[in-house]
Amino acid sequence: MNKVATTSTEQLIENSDVSLTDKFNKDDVSWILSLFGTAVGAGILFLPMSAGSGGFWPLILMTLLIGPMCYFSHRGLMLYVLSSSKKDADVIDVVQESFGVSKANMIALLHIFAFYPVLLIYGNSLTNTIESLLMNQLHFTRMVDGVEISMVPRWLLSGVLISGMIFVMYSGKHMMLRLAKFFVYPLIVILFSLSIYLIPTWRIDAFSLQQMPSLSDLLIYTWLTIPVLIFAFNHSPSISSFAVAQRQRYGENAALKADRMVRVASSMLLVFIMFFVFSCVMSLAPEQLLEAKNANLTILSYLANVYDSQIINILGPMVAFVSIVSSFFGHYLGAREGIVGMVNRVGVNYLHVLTEKRIDLFVAWFVGITVWSVTQFNPSVIDLITKLGSPVMVALLYFMPMYALYKTPAMKKYRKQWSNKFVILMGVLGMTSIIYGMFVGN
């Protein structure tokens, strides 16, 4: 898949003198790790509960699909941003350049609806993870009316956690990238190590052909899981900033260089996420996965609660914390981009007052207060993912770049690639699955 797609892309990029043998520099590696860290968040930590209840064999089909889905969709968005004639144009700017102000305002609004709800998901997930750690591993509890609760009130715990993440983002993109890079290295090592550590606990009977569902059940189950798969592998919030940075650094060679980096990030995600999902699913019975889903816990927090293992007790919550925080950073960038884009267009008459610093301060306070408020209600994370986060995400990542591909002259050279039809098909399947889950499914 990658070889065919890469050759096609390279042939279409004109006047490029970047060789495939060029090594990635320090900045390239930082961006690859940032893309990886953006995707590895609450999605991967809840994916085993959604994708694993069907057993081993549906996961095989999901793995075959999600690799090209992840790569082609994010590459399409990246190429669209790079199609702009302006050096510093982000995704909202390029939409305005292609389709006018009204559609740019709509995309800015969609950015907010796509990425801001994800911040609510991460805030709630992080609070639940640390609260579970305090209660189950550290036994930092007290009894109230015969009920064991955490000694740290939820409102205080969530306030400290969310304020810390907001402070990092308000301090600037460079600080976020440095911290994300610091997080991602141990995240890769620990995630892979945990996946290997769980191998002795795998249920061998799950590999049996007798456990294979019928073809219709296999296809239906995979179709219903596509929205969570898209969410778990999504790193689109960082794609716009990433593309702008590559254009400023590599100029006319940015498309080829950025394509290589997106391909590496997508391959890393496929290997690490799906190996982790397989290992978790093979280690737990379907009823245990359902119990974890109903408890609104990440898979790592649940594993730490059910396994008498000091390694899992320590590393499980650690991975959950690091992955959620690193992914929060990436989605904050996406939400901020939408809010800033909307303010710059709707508030054009007040730009002398709405300085960038004031806008950033507003975004920080708005996100901080609203995310903190939602954590007090502790809504179902998987419901938030499938009903709140995924629909707009599919529209922005699978439909918008493909629409621009056939409507924008600058994208004409990419129109004959077979991967475009694949992205559109998977987008349709993802959106119909979401609609089915909202109005027909349980």
Would 20 be classed as within a structural domain? no
Would 215 be classed as within a structural domain? yes
The domain total for the chain is: 1
What pLDDT does residue 345 have?
66
Would 21 be classed as within a structural domain? no
What pLDDT does residue 17 have?
47
Range of the domain at 160: 2-15+26-439
Residues 258, 243 contacting (CB under 8 angstroms):
yes
Single pTM value for the model:
0.79
CATH code: domain of residue 56: 1.20.1740.10
Would 200 be classed as within a structural domain? yes
What pLDDT does residue 350 have?
54
What pLDDT does residue 132 have?
85
Q: How far is CA 353 from CA 105, 349, 356, 357, 360, in A?
A: 20, 9, 9, 10, 13
Helix axes 310-346, 173-197, angle to 10 degrees: 150
Residue 375 burial by Cβ neighbours in a 10 Å radius (0-12, 13-18, 19+): buried
Would 222 be classed as within a structural domain? yes
d(CA 193, CA 309): 14
Would 160 be classed as within a structural domain? yes
442 residues of the chain, pLDDT tens digit each: 344 344 444 444 444 444 444 678 888 888 898 888 778 766 788 888 888 777 788 899 999 999 999 999 999 999 999 998 888 888 888 888 888 888 888 887 777 777 788 888 889 888 988 998 888 888 888 887 777 888 899 999 999 999 999 988 877 666 766 776 677 777 778 888 888 988 998 887 767 666 778 888 889 989 989 988 998 898 888 898 899 999 988 888 899 999 999 999 999 999 989 999 999 888 888 888 888 888 877 787 788 888 877 788 777 777 778 878 877 887 787 778 777 767 766 665 555 566 777 888 888 899 999 999 999 988 877 777 777 778 888 988 999 999 999 888 888 889 988 999 999 999 999 999 988 888 776 5
Would 185 be classed as within a structural domain? yes
